[in-house]
Amino acid sequence: MSRYLTDRLARYAVFAGAAVSFLVLLAIAVFIFRGGLPAFKEIGIFDFLFGAVWRPGQGQYGILVMIVGSVAVTAGSLLLAVPLGIACAILLAEVAPFGVRQFLRQAVELLVGIPSVVYGLVGMVLLVPAIRQLGGPGYSVLAASIVLMAMVLPTIISISEDSIRAVPASYKEAALALGATHWQTIWRVLLPSARSGIIASVVLGMGRAVGETMAMIMVIGNSITFPTSPLSPTRTLTGNIAVEITYAGGLHRSALFATGIVLFVLILIINSIAVISLKRGGHAQNLA
């Protein structure tokens, strides 16, 4: 009887924890939408999303510059992080000896625990002066992309490695039995079979990059201008909120909350795509 009681209590506890998490998410959504919807009504959704001028003092609230800045930094970080992350995942899953694998895995886990402000500080001290030698102020899309690359790498590496390890061993054995080399097996069999999980890792890394704030403020320059090259400064959506929320009021404050709505919906879509990719990958492996 006590065993069934424990099982029932554990089930209720898990359900309560899930319900609390959902309620917290719902409360955050309600808070953001209550603050941001007035801006959409007064400014207009189209003018807010596609307006190229952000001058709160003159009543101009267009976040297109920040959207382009966020997309540029995210794309740049993924362009750098995806090849490195997948290569590291292959190394950990298939190539490295046990001792090296354990050391590298601990190093990857250590990257997760480093605060974002430390990444930003390293970028300010090391990256910005080096990039300044190439031209421009140094505070740029390139500096932000490199910092973000280091921050999203653990997500891409860990999920990609798990996806590669989840491929049935029979796939690898069959390829080797047919005369394929180890690298041919990895490239032609393991990676295509783990494609859904790898895509999910990239999408989750994208969500991490879009939502980053502090490190971006420290290295991107925070200039409300369209980036014309990787060496140009710009501003991201998250940076715009963090820089101006302390002194904003009235419509200005509501516009910043509306920016939060855009971010909230964007990250929700990104995470949903990642979950769907993981489910499809798991379903395909179960069928196999």
Q: Give the model confidence (pLDDT) of 72-84 as tens digits.
A: 999 999 999 999 9
The residues, any chain, with a CB within 8 Å of residue 96's CB and separated by 6 or more, are 104
> Within this chain, do residues 37 and 154 fall inside the same structural domain, yes or no?
no
Taking all residues of the chain, what is their mean pLDDT, rounded to a whole number?
Answer: 85
> Within this chain, do residues 124 and 207 fall inside the same structural domain, yes or no?
yes
> Within this chain, do residues 28 and 114 fall inside the same structural domain, yes or no?
no
171 compared with 288, residue with greater pLDDT: 171
- Cβ pair 48, 255 in contact under 8 A: yes
Percentage of the chain lying above the pLDDT 90 cut:
13
User: What is the model's pLDDT at position 73?
Assistant: 92
Percentage of the chain lying above the pLDDT 70 cut:
95
Q: What is the span of the domain harbouring residue 20? A: 2-49
> Within this chain, do residues 32 and 68 fall inside the same structural domain, yes or no?
no
Burial code of 68-79, b = ≥16 C-beta within 10 A, e = fewer?
bbbebbbebbbe
3-state secondary structure of 60: strand
**Whole-number Å distance between alpha carbons of 208 and 148:** 9
Mean pLDDT is lowest, of 4-13, 176-185, 271-280, for 271-280
Average pLDDT over residues 87-103: 86
> Within this chain, do residues 133 and 254 fall inside the same structural domain, yes or no?
yes
User: What is the model's pLDDT at position 149?
Assistant: 92
> Within this chain, do residues 32 and 76 fall inside the same structural domain, yes or no?
no
User: What is the model's pLDDT at position 278?
Assistant: 64
User: What is the model's pLDDT at position 257?
Assistant: 92
Q: For the segment 13-54, what is each residue's pLDDT rounded down to a tens digit? A: 888 888 998 899 889 889 888 888 888 888 888 888 888 888
List beta partners, residue 234: 221
Total tally of structural domains belonging to the chain: 2
Residue 111 has pLDDT above 70, yes or no: yes
